[in-house]
Amino acid sequence: MTPLASYRRLLELAGTTYVVVAFVGRLPLAMSQLGTLLLVSTATGSYGLGGLSAGALAVANALGAPVAGALADRVGQRWVVLVQSLLGGAGLAALVAVVGREATDVVVVATAAVTGLVLPQVGPLARVRWRPLTRGAGADQRRLVDAAFSYEGAADEASFAIGPALVGLSVAVFSPSGALVLAAVLLAVFGSAFALDPSARVAHGHAHVATGGRLVGAAFVVLVAAQLTIGTLFGATQTGATVLATDAGTPGVAGLVHASLGVGSALAGLGTAFVPERFPHQRRALVAASALLVLSLPLLVVDSLGGAAVTVLLLGFAVAPYMIAVFSLAERVVPPARVGAAMTMLASATGMGYALGSSLAGRLADTSGTSGATAAFGVTVGATVVAVLLVASQQGRLNRATRSADPTAGAPAPVTQPVG
């Protein structure tokens, strides 16, 4: 079965409605971070506070996601995601309210944190549903699952292109507060629809078949650290784009600039399904990390929104291959019963990295004596350097871990982002 045929078969199995709902349901999380950064920084005039608020939302989400994921494994996704969607929508609306009333910095940051704590991670939870959805495919299941997780990687990246773009358009047409109100409505509607989709019951029934096992091993810790670096890249790049756009007098354009990162990444993500199986995932991660470093260097010299958009677009072509390799390795090195927990932990690492990147870049932008955008983008480049050093130094460990997990395999499995 070719990758294109696999994509068509997945659409038949899951249904168009589910695919649409699962995609739109992940947009509010992508919108919330940039939306918070723009809302707070515009209202207070402080990039530092804006970055801190967005970082608090991301950190809280990173802490809450594994807990919600573990609970969903126990009782099913339906009620967990439904409650999260409704509470998360209310939290985003509350954040708009406290900023509008000129609340203290502590109240603003605390509200952002509480909101982040309850926002659902739709992307990782959607991955959990694909294996049970394809259970009746027989010998084709493995290839279908591979294609499904290649798609999920692209969908995540597309959401982080469309989400910021929606924020930018909302800011341009309405205001920064309008962007978060839109995110709240989308979450309440589509998040709830994702929670109530019949696939949630299928996934819960499938989860009872698996048995326990150890989640945290040395190889998995390496993968968590690797995902932390890409989150740092996201946060710093988003902050750098915000500074550049604000200095140009068009803060709403920041979302459009950052969206270009997701465009390139989504295209590359879909293409990973065509990478030969004989090219192991640990090598893919190293090649992608090296590409991230090379493609991020021009950010240190860009001085226009157009130049930044083009550079970020090209940078995005290395993002999805890197992330898909990391998630694919995680699926191989953790026990089958713990894959759902592994997915949410990697998503949490991305959030923690975003918080680190946005906060550090925001502080440097505020204190820089020259270009605040260049200082922020310096954090982006630094994150790629760490990614290269980490993945290069851990090739042997990752290779041993994947072979130990499947000693009969001659090469790692095709691109997959784990399912539970």
pLDDT, tens digit, for every residue of 300-319?
Answer: 988 888 888 899 999 989 99
User: Hunting for tokens 């494994």 — which residue is that?
Assistant: 73
The alpha carbon of residue 402 and the mean position of all alpha carbons in its chain are separated, in whole angstroms, by: 24
> pLDDT, tens digit, for every residue of 19-76?
999 999 999 998 888 889 888 888 887 777 888 888 888 888 888 888 888 788 778 8
Please enumerate in sequence order all residues whose Cβ is within 8 A of that of 206, keeping only pairs 6 or more positions apart, or say none: 131, 132, 135, 420
Query: Are 38 and 97 within 8 A, CB to CB?
Result: no
Tokens found for residue 189? 């509607």
Separation of first and last alpha carbons in the chain: 23
Confidence of residue 95 (pLDDT cuts 50, 70, 90): very high
Identify which has the larger pLDDT, 210 or 399: 399
- What average pLDDT score do residues 178-192 get? 93
Task: Give the least confident one: 149-153, 179-183, 404-408.
Answer: 404-408
More confident residue, 297 or 143: 297
Q: Is 183 helix (H, G, I), strand (E, B) or coil?
A: helix
Please name the amino acid found at residue 196.
L
Of 133, 137, 135, 139, give the one whose Cα is nearest residue 152: 133
Of the pLDDT bands very low, low, confident and very high (cuts 50, 70, 90), residue 412 is: very low
Average pLDDT, the chain: 83
- pLDDT tens, residue by residue, 22-33: 999 999 998 888
Question: At the top level of CATH, which class does the domain 3-405 belong to?
Answer: mainly alpha
When mean pLDDT is compared across 72-81, 99-108, 408-417, the lowest value belongs to 408-417
**For residue 412, what is the DSSP state?**
P
- What's the pLDDT band for 213 if we cut at 50, 70, 90? low
Percent of the chain with pLDDT over 90: 29
Show the CA angle centred on residue 115, arms to residues 30 and 130, nearest 5°.
50
CB 280 within 8 A of CB 412: yes
* Residue 129 CA, distance from chain mean position: 18
Res 125: pLDDT = 86
Distance CA 59, CA 349 (A): 9
